[in-house]
Structure 1
Amino acid sequence: MKRIFKLIEKYYVIIIILTVVITLFYPNSFKWVMGNIYGTNTINLLLGLILFGMGTTLKVDNFVNVFKRPKEVLVGISTQYIIMPLLALCLAKIFSLNEALTVGLILVGTVPGGTASDVITFLAKGDLALSVSLTAVSTIISPLLTPIITLLLIGNNIAFNPIEMFISIVQIVIVPIALGLFINYKFPKFAEELKEYLPAVSSIAICLIIGGVLGANKDAIMTTSWIILMVIILQYILAMIIGLIVSYLSGMKFKQAITIAIELAFQNSGLSTSLAKTHFPNLALATVPGALYSVWQNFAGAVLAFIFKRYVKDNEIE
């Protein structure tokens, strides 16, 4: 059984691509993902499962490290919640995206860093401890910053309640992570055993979210996908470049610089999709940027990890 889960984890990117292909030919395959289970959005439940898995890998030390490396963490969090939202807004304006796609793109920019950044940082031989700390801190403060920044960027033109978004982020993000932390603290052996399975479970959950969103919006995506896909690729590439530049100007070593860049480019796209569906129900296409960003960041991330890893090895940069 463990071998199957390890295979799923190993070939995660291929499974994502297969999910996209299946959805394009059979859009109703994942229709149930867009529904409810016992009155709760299925996407929210899947996302909660992913974040619970993240929680089981965290320890109090991850948050203590913030005070040991204040400059690096401050630079990472500042770029996460200042540069990424503004970058999303600028791209939406430049490419004249419609209201729904603009909201979706801004949500991609205002959510915290995704857990995939830790995996890519590890593969790229970056600073894993810094990556985990940044992911943890940006996620914990997201209930406060994500609603506020989203409100500032979209203004009063679109009906949306930041207080309700705050509550939903607490429910979707903080509660599962706190439960995972508790399990890791109280039952460390059980948490260690879960690590054999949860990465694969999280991978499947992300694929289901992608399949559900793409299937529900297939027709609209087929007519606008080239524009939004180009914007998403630009958002990802620019985030990576800006992360490297900001880190370099801050005097960081290369390992820390690529960590900041990866953390900046890898967003919790599942959360942005969930928030779009929950808080902007009349803007169906608002869920699309998050789903497409998830596909792209995981595909491109695997390639970038290989490039960064070779660069670090060839130049022996610590």
Structure 2
Amino acid sequence: MEVSFLSSVVLPIALAIIMLGMGLSLLPKDFQRVKNYPKAVSIGLISQLVFLPIIGFVIANIVPMQPAMAMGLMIVALCPGGVSSNIFTFLAKGDVALSVTLTAFSSLITVFTIPVFGNLAYQHFIGETAALALPIGATIVQIFLITILPIGLGMVIRQIFPEPARRLEKVTNRLAVGLLAVIILMLIVREWNRIPGFILQVGVGVMLLNTISTLTAFYTSKLFKLNPPQQICITIEVGIQNSALAFAITAGILKNPDMAIPAAIYGLFMYVTGWIAIRYGRKLIATSPIQHPRESQV
């Protein structure tokens, strides 16, 4: 089985299964929560969709790396929060309802922002043939098919068959993780001799992107006096990116394995900072003088 087949066919299917699992955990009221705390949602989305791409662009220009690697890093920065952010937020005693809301809204918005700003990034880092490499219309359709459509389908199933949906959610998550593991393993085998060089080139950029964006989100939410659970949620939401979507875009749509390396490395490194966020979040909640109740869980 060719790696190109894995990245262009199996990977989008795996991502669609992940998004289906996310949809199975969502209810319409999850999208209505924005009315309850617009300040927290606004700060979270701005941190995710504005600050993160700016930080990524600066890092990709400052840190020495191949143009393909820089483009891959930008794709990671343009992606929405990862589905795992909801789990990390729960474990860190953050605001789970806010996390679900931010993940859902950022996933919807980035269907349109990734193609537009991805094209601009491609022109900057790769060259003048960006329109051919990342056509806006086709990219929007592909991202819609592997993200929004499965989420919507999952929500419909959850509404009609709530109990089977909960059981199916666990199955889809395990299946998707298995498929992603196979794809990443195949790419590692294929690029084994080049991996040390890849890590040296993009490792610093990945660590800086994750660390700086996470700290920026935390101190921004702190500056605007959000309560501790909301601070924890926004910090994790920005730090835990949808690296699977970044992988699908770079390896599947752009068909460039080198561009997929930052997504793969980020997908590993973000769990390190996620674990740190869990430890700090629990300590922050335990020592907070005013305990704010968490929102309802997913």
Sequence identity (%):
26
Alignment partner for residue 147 of structure 2, among 173, 192, 195?
Answer: 173
SS in structure 1 opposite 2:226?
Answer: coil
Match of residue 293 from structure 1 = 266
2:280 aligned with 1:307: yes
Name the SS of the counterpart of 2:250 in structure 1: helix
Whether the aligned pair in 2 keeps the contact of 1:209 and 1:270 (CA below 8 Å) is no
Superposed CA deviations along residues 118-158 of structure 1, whole A, max 9, x for unmatched, are 11100000000000000011111221111112223333625
Partner AA of 2:223 in structure 1: L
* Aligned residues of 1:240 and 1:261 also touching (Cα < 8 A): yes
Q: Any gaps of 5 or more consecutive residues in structure 1?
A: 1-30
Q: Distance in 2 between matches of 1:33 and 1:42?
A: 10
- Say whether 1:84 aligns with 2:58: no
2 CA distance for matches of 1:202 and 1:55? 14
Which letter maps to 1:218? W
**Structure with the larger RCO, 1 or 2 (CA within 8 Å, 6+ apart):** 2
CA contact (8 A) 1:85 1:149 kept: no
Match of 1:69 in 2: 37
Tell me the equivalent position of 1:215. Answer: 189
Seen in structure 2, the aligned counterparts of structure 1 residues 207 and 302 have a Cα distance that, compared at 3 Å, is: farther
Asked if structure 2 preserves the Cα contact closer than 8 Å seen for 1:34 and 1:43, the reply is no
Greater CA deviation, 167-176 or 152-161?
152-161
d(CA) in 2 for partners of 1:69, 1:205: 37
Structure 1 residues 93 and 176: CA distance shift in structure 2, 3 A: same
User: Structure 2: how far apart are the matches of 1:230 and 1:308?
Assistant: 25
Contact 1:113–1:266 (8 Å) recurs in 2: yes
Provide closer, same or farther for how the CA distance between residues 33 and 128 of structure 1 changes in structure 2, counting only shifts above 3 A. Answer: farther
Q: Please say if 1:112 is aligned against 2:80.
A: yes
Aligned partners of 1:213 and 1:305: how far apart in 2?
30
> What is the SS of the residue equivalent to 1:130?
helix
- Residue 191 (structure 1) shift: 0.5
User: Aligned pair count?
Assistant: 285
Contact 1:55 1:179 in 2 (8 A): yes
1:310 Cα shift? 2.4
C-alpha distance in 1, partners of 2:96/2:234?
11
User: Conserved in 1, the CA contact under 8 Å of 2:52 and 2:77?
Assistant: yes
Cα RMSD for the two superposed structures: 2.0
Structure 1 position 47, deviation (Å)? 0.8
TM-score under structure 2 length normalisation: 0.89
The answer for unaligned runs of 5 or more in structure 2 is 293-298
> Quick one: which amino acid aligns to residue 175 of structure 1?
L
Find the partner of 1:150 among 98, 118, 126.
Answer: 118
Query: How far apart, CA to CA, are the structure 1 residues paired with 2:144 and 2:193?
Result: 33
TM-score norm. by structure 1 comes to 0.84
284-293 or 125-134, which deviates more: 284-293
